[in-house]
Amino acid sequence: MRRYDWFAYVNSIGLVLISCLMIAPMIHLLAVSLSEPQYANARLVGLWPRGFQLDVYEEIVRTEEIWRSMGVSVYITVVGTLIALVLNSSLAYSLARPFMPWRKLILRLILLTYIFPIPLIPTYLLVRELGMLNTLWSLMIPGAVAAFYVFIMRTFFKGISSELFDAAKIDGCSEYGLYVRIVLPLSKPVLATIALFHAVGQWNSYFSALIYIRSKDLYPMQVLLRNMIVEDGADTGIDSNFRLSLEFTPEMMKAGVVMFATVPILLVYPFLQNYFVKGAMLGSLKE
């Protein structure tokens, strides 16, 4: 028992240290965004601000382009995640049912897409032929169904007792009713997990927008941020006044926009973290 206590103690210390290493970059960016310009531009700021000012965030709040990009990111994250949950869960449920025709063949084909991802050029040509270029659909539809999500959900659905389905069928429930009334309510842990995975990936994605989006009004937040950091503010769609402020305090503005773009997705975690520790079938069936 004492040996286990020592292991838990050392393990806890190690996890705390790793967590500190992970949040240190965010603390540094926050400190840079709150510091005086002369210290930030000279890269003299560590984990604590030198001086204090909120001019960066006041400028960010006043910038229409940033709010427009934030709205685009929120829209494609929320709508894209809902689309992904509907498509992946319905496909996984169908493949989890034993009487599904061609089930093994379809599973092998899905596995093939996981081993050999679809190249960029055929994907681009398909998106163009479907008329989704320069639309937000091009940022949500192509990556909505993923083999990884399908296999996770299918494994979860197969763990649901068949006696629940038999009882529901006796009561006259259809396959659609089984999916909506039985499977989905019992699948909150896996749905929350997939939703979190997809939402974080959707929020942080910028490459698809670089390929499919031409209008600056449809730029998501990550594209604006990427252009600001990689190209030092060029071709971001931000007006000249904002570029002028970037020239005076480039490091502060970049740090402030990074914080502004990161906080919204961090707020999602507290609402979903409980589902990661809940059992799949707690209280659903007693035998």
DSSP conformation letters of 124-177? HHHHHHTT-TTSTHHHHSTTS--HHHHHHHHHHHHTS-HHHHHHHHHTT--HHH
Q: Place 80 in a pLDDT band, splitting at 50, 70 and 90.
A: very high
Residue 281 confidence (pLDDT) = 40
Nearest to 150 by CA among 93, 101, 103, 108: 93
Assigned domain for 131 exists: yes
Model confidence at 140, pLDDT cuts 50, 70, 90, reads very high
Residues 48 and 84 in one domain: no
> Residues 32, 138: one domain?
no
Which amino acid is it at 195? A
The total number of residues shown for the chain amounts to 287
In a domain? residue 128 = yes
> How is residue 286 written in tokens?
């007693």
Over the chain, what is the mean pLDDT? 81
Instruction: Judge whether 287 lies within some domain.
Output: no
Residues 205 and 66 in one domain: yes
285 lies in a domain? no
233, 227 Cβ separation under 8 angstroms: yes
65, 174: one domain: yes
Confidence of residue 55 (pLDDT cuts 50, 70, 90): confident
Query: What number of other Cβ atoms are within 10 A of residue 93's Cβ?
Result: 22
Q: Do residues 90 and 23 both lie within one domain? A: no
Q: Are residues 113 and 44 in the same domain?
A: no
For residue 267, tell me if it sits in a domain: yes
- The gap from C-alpha 104 to its chain's centroid, in whole angstroms, comes to 30
pLDDT tier at 237 (50, 70, 90 boundaries)?
Answer: very low
Q: Is the pLDDT of residue 103 over 70?
A: yes
Of 87 and 49, the one with more pLDDT: 87
- The total number of structural domains in the chain stands at 2
pLDDT at 280 over 50: no
What pLDDT sits at residue 77? 93
Domain that holds residue 66: 56-276
Question: In this predicted model, what pLDDT tens digit does every residue of 190-217 receive, in sequence order?
Answer: 888 888 889 988 998 888 999 999 988 8
Do 211 and 75 reside in the same domain of the chain? Answer: yes
Asked if residue 160 and residue 259 are part of one domain, the reply reads yes
Burial 138-167 (b: 16+ CB within 10 A, else e): bbbbbbbbbbebbbbbbebbeebeeebbee
Identify the CA nearest to 229 among candidates 251, 203, 261: 251
Note whether 96 and 157 are same-domain residues. Answer: yes
Query: Rounded to whole angstroms, what are the CA distances from 226 to 32, 96, 98?
Result: 18, 41, 47
Per-residue confidence (pLDDT) for residue 78, from 0 to 100:
94
- Whole-model pTM: value is 0.81
Question: Which of 149-153, 161-165, 177-181 has the least mean pLDDT?
Answer: 161-165
DSSP states of 230-285: HSTTTTSS--HHHHHHHHHSHHHHHHHHHHHHHHHHHTTHHHHGGGGTS-TTTTT-
Does the residue 111 lie in any domain? yes
